Homo-oligomer: A and B are copies of this chain.
């Protein structure tokens, strides 16, 4: 039967089910197919903090959202056009987010009175009109999967597990995706269990064929490949990009990589990833706690490694004292904070940007630390290299801020050729630099104010460092009042010096007519960009700038801000960057804040920006 194929510019799909239903895997696969096909895309995985919350409950729902388009896009989309819901809980938990008229594909298998009651429904929404705003396809996906696998000899339970593949097959048909990749993937993943591989492939094909054959779906859709800059692309999550960025920085600086870390969501995957790359000289140390993690990294830094520690908010709080020591020792160290919802344990699997001020001020005394932030999953790669560059060049701990949204979200990424990356020249001290052949471990480079890095093993440069205030140049303990004042200001000056080598801030103001500037940092890049496009589409000029460097700010930031009547700062916190900007530049920046554990929705943000443009 020949079917209609309709062209779309963009689609937002969300698939949702129990945490045990394999939704993240299904989402990943659909993303890969879509990436292979050449669409631009952005993803948003969302899962509960529990490993396996009880089946069929709202708390146990896991979902994966994918936005893909024939043009470049910036966010995983606000409101799904399509929801695939594998059980009543998944339907209930996600219904509120759908746009009117959205397509709903629901596995009706589990819509029993009991299951419905469990999520607080006393009648069946598939039947009672609840869903009339939507294009509902209630299908017994589970049963169809079981039927497809009837001959395999698998138990009902095992066979039922493949229902996600059935759903994926159906989606693949609907959106005209290539299927070879998925089949190869399944074969590879279950290479040791061929009967499971077979079942999954059968279910996947059955789903595809069901779309092709049945009359339920009158149309398939096509979203043309996007035109992106030329190059080789892959899909990548933020944590993976960050890990690769660190290895690349290690190669470009010629220093072995050392990671000292303690597992914590959503940072653990960086530890997992790096532990797999020992052949590149990467040492990973799973420490007894966060303090030992950063401590070991600092020890490795003293020994001449590119030293890194990774954590999330609660773990970063524990590292404060040691970060202060690193400031005092003036050794390079990259501290990655993959932010999550706080305070305290907060919302471990949700995203937030509320550690900026902790990164700035979370330790005793005047202990300034440069801060860089990543703005998209792929950008985590570049941000990691930039953090390493600053740390190594200025001999200082550096914060690299990412967050749960970047960490797990993915996007197509143009893979750089390693030799296009900046080199990070590092030169260990090898000769005495003081009078009479002495070594002065705190004699500074006049340009960067960096002190020499003399690693153990270098004859003649034996020296001692420590956390007590040090005399200028010699580094000996000093309680001298003027020396202390000098050293406090010098450490600050060194961090301020970072700005000198930064490029001017890029401002996106196509018409040049904008009176309002939207300033952002970190993972709000996508939503802000999307919101700004919406505003512009309505004919209003508006400018956007996004900060990679939060400390120090780029040197021209003040001048940029002064070009605009109003500056708006959207943040997933209560206004942390806004506070820093207000204090430094004394401008009445408007803070737009949302602390919902979720990225901004472009649509809502656009409305708020429009409000500022309209009413100032």
Q: List the interface of chain A (C-beta within 8 A of B).
A: 48-49, 59, 312-314, 316-318, 320-321, 324-325, 327-328, 339, 341-350, 352, 354-355, 357-358, 360-367, 466-469, 479, 481-482, 484-485, 488-489, 491-492, 573-574, 579-580, 582-584, 586-588, 594-598
Given known A485-B594, A586-B582, A586-B588, contact A343–B317 (CB-CB < 8 A): no
Judging by beta carbons under 8 Å apart, are B345 and A366 in contact?
no
Judging by beta carbons under 8 Å apart, are A317 and B49 in contact?
no
Q: How far is the CB of A104 from chain B (nearest CB, A)?
A: 22
Judging by beta carbons under 8 Å apart, are B343 and A363 in contact?
yes
- Bound complex: CA of A354 vs CA of B317, how far in Å? 18
Residues of B within 8 A of A584 (CB): 582
A–B Cβ pairs within 8 angstroms, 22 of them: A48-B479, A49-B468, A312-B364, A317-B324, A317-B364, A325-B344, A327-B344, A342-B364, A343-B366, A344-B467, A345-B466, A345-B467, A347-B484, A348-B468, A350-B484, A357-B360, A362-B362, A366-B574, A485-B594, A485-B595, A488-B574, A489-B595
- Bound complex: CA of A314 vs CA of B347, how far in Å? 28
Residues of B within 8 A of A573 (CB): 366
Q: How far is the CB of A171 from chain B (nearest CB, A)?
A: 26
Q: How far is the CB of A53 from chain B (nearest CB, A)?
A: 10
Given known A324-B342, A343-B367, contact A485–B362 (CB-CB < 8 A): no
Closest A-B pairs by Cβ, 10 of them: A342-B365, A313-B364, A344-B467, A343-B365, A343-B367, A481-B596, A345-B467, A583-B583, A317-B320, A357-B361
Judging by beta carbons under 8 Å apart, are A484 and B364 in contact?
no
Partner of A320, one of B320, B489, B574, B596: B320
Further 10 A-B residue pairs, CB within 8 A, beyond A318-B321, A342-B363, A366-B574: A314-B324, A318-B320, A339-B364, A343-B467, A346-B365, A347-B468, A349-B479, A366-B595, A481-B596, A579-B583
Residues of B within 8 A of A580 (CB): 583
Judging by beta carbons under 8 Å apart, are B355 and A358 in contact?
no
Residues of B within 8 A of A468 (CB): 49, 344-348
Judging by beta carbons under 8 Å apart, are B595 and A484 in contact?
yes
- Bound complex: CA of A482 vs CA of B604, how far in Å? 15
